[in-house]
Amino acid sequence: MRSCSAPPHESAVCEAGSEPCLPAPVTCLRAWKWGAAGPCSRRGAAAAAGRKDLPRMVSHPELKQLFCTADAVCFDVDSTVIREEGIDELARFCGVEDAVSEMTRRAMGGAVPFRAALTERLALIQPSREQVQRLLAEHPPHLTPGIRELVSRLQERNVQVFLISGGFRSIVEHVAAKLNIPAANVFANRLKFYFNGEYAGFDETQPTADSGGKGKVIKFLKEKFHFKKIIMIGDGATDMEACPPADVFIGFGGNVIRQQVKDNARWYITDFVELLGDLEE
């Protein structure tokens, strides 16, 4: 396990908790099928190497079947599980909303590398530990309609539910508690604070601090728990790029529509009621 404490010369500590050091993402294209074997099996890889077959796109009914038989479902948090963008709410609370909101829009659309956008936004906000705590107490995040019922239904089916977010763990754990999702199923960034509570940066070792980080988390979950089918649901480009290694990506536009995601996601919804309906069929 990797500790998120800052080196001694920085005199800073992170938000509570730690996550494992995760390996690099895989490149297996699970959105395609190479005949019966599939590209991820040795037999399928050998067959693909020896012939020129073109891959077949997975049909929408097949995508729904994968969702209904998934071992695990991973949700983005900001603008997906909750209605707000957590970092924008923090910026508003700290009085720098306008500049940060534009950076968020560009980052979620894929126009700016995620780490660069996160660094720039936090440099503007400079949130203290007290400000983060006050934000949660005075302006708690609002759950997206239908998410509580969807998570509950998945859990009733013994499907593992994870929250994978480029937001901040202190906020995401607050959301997880509302949905009865254990803190161990939360992967998010950690703010660092000096011992007097002032902002000291963020933990750059977390996979979610980088573009492609959500894919690293999903690969780790497959290796640790031997999940066969993982679904990723989210509104942004960083969610879409997590498939593969996720087996299915479902774009969500119920709070905000990212045009790049809407145009490129093979399955796009604007209401969680649709997924609840699929589970009931």
Active centre residues (catalytic): 76, 78
Q: How far apart are CA 66 and CA 71, in angstroms?
A: 9
The kind and range of the H/E element at 45 are helix 42-49
Exposure of 155 in the CB half-sphere (CA atoms within 13 A): 13
Under DSSP, is residue 160 helix (H, G, I), strand (E, B) or coil? strand
* Order of strands across the sheet that contains 186-189: 186-189, 160-168, 72-75, 230-234, 248-252, 268-269
Of the CA atoms within 13 Å of residue 237, those in its CB half-sphere come to: 16
Distance of alpha carbon 211 from alpha carbon 122, whole angstroms: 17
Compute CA distances 20 → 138, 177, 221, whole Å: 32, 21, 11
Burial group, residue 36, by CB count within 10 angstroms (0-12, 13-18, 19+):
exposed
- Bridge-based pairing of strands 191-194 and 199-202 is antiparallel
